[in-house]
Amino acid sequence: MPKKISELKESLRSEQSIHTDFRETMTYGEYLSLDRILSSQNRLSGHHDEMLFIVIHQVSELWMKLLLHELTAAIDEINAGELQSAFKKLARVSKIQSQIIGAWDVLATMTPAEYLEFRGSLGRASGFQSHQYRLIEFALGYKSDYILKIYEKDPDIHRELEQAYKAPGIYDAAIGALSRGGFAINPDLLDRDFTIIYDGDPTVAAAWEEVYRDTERHWELYQLAEKLVDVEDWLQQWRFRHMKTVERIIGFRQGTGGSSGVAYLRNVLDHRFFPELWNLRTTL
């Protein structure tokens, strides 16, 4: 049976080691800077549901910050041949993605009528402008130069995005791992123009097929391939939930940032980040 309230209070009092004097000691809230975080939900309208809209997007940006932290470290580790460490981080990336997907389910509780009450307050601000989402796309190999113009207002963010735009992504690191593993990879791929979206190569396809046909011999590369498939799978589910949530709330109206909204989100669903890893499912 549940404990009585008096018993619970007595149990708490018996915890003699619990600290209660924080006059000269850092608190939980101070460590997490909760004063700044919890005072950053600034509604521009008086509508109740704008708080939901702000919090969901802020939480998603925090998850994306952690995702980028793990993803960029995984790329460095793949390049260094430390695949087991990279696998841990990529597994965490997939779990983070599942959390962001879950956020769309909460936002989907907002109705079109509720959103219209404060949509005008957003001006041209839009999730389309999320620079962290662009950094994720760049790290996965999806490069779009016209996107960079959006960020010229902030030189630091623009500089960070330009560097990521020119840098090799995680699939380039994986192709390098194939080459170091003894596979005959087209040398042009190892020092290519990384601003160009990768769209496949026969030598990479042949290498991955050999990995999948002899998984015991190439176990680490096989694990790497499956971790990459996990990341892309979750990203596409993220994109799909985003698209359906937008369709549910605003239909096929233009986005606040000027994009075509649902039509744009549907188009990007067709892109494959790691084409050979999906094609071999058919060719094996």
Q: Per the annotation, does 48 bind a ligand?
A: no
The answer to the question of whether 72 is labelled as a binding residue is: no
Check the annotation: does 249 bind a ligand.
Answer: no
271 is in an annotated binding site: no
Q: How far is CA 3 from CA 8, 16, 211, 268, 280, in A?
A: 7, 20, 57, 54, 58
CB atoms within 10 A of CB 117: 16
Annotated binding residue 231: no
CB-side exposure of 182: number of CA atoms within 13 Å?
Answer: 5
Report whether 242 belongs to an annotated binding site: yes
The reply, when asked if residue 147 is annotated as ligand binding, is: no
3-state secondary structure 74-127: HHHHHHCCCHHHHHHHHHHHHHHHHHHHHHHHHHCCCCHHHHHCCHHHHCCCCH
169-190 core/surface letters (b: 16 or more CB in 10 A; e: else)? bbbbbbbbbbbebebebeeebe
Q: Does the annotation place 138 within a ligand binding site?
A: no
Asked if residue 266 belongs to a known ligand binding site, the reply is: no
Residues 6+ apart with CB under 8 A from 27: none
Binding residue ranges? 53-57, 115, 119, 242, 256
Annotated binding residues for substrate, written as ranges, equal 53-57, 115, 119, 256
Q: Cite the annotated binding site for heme by residue number.
A: 242
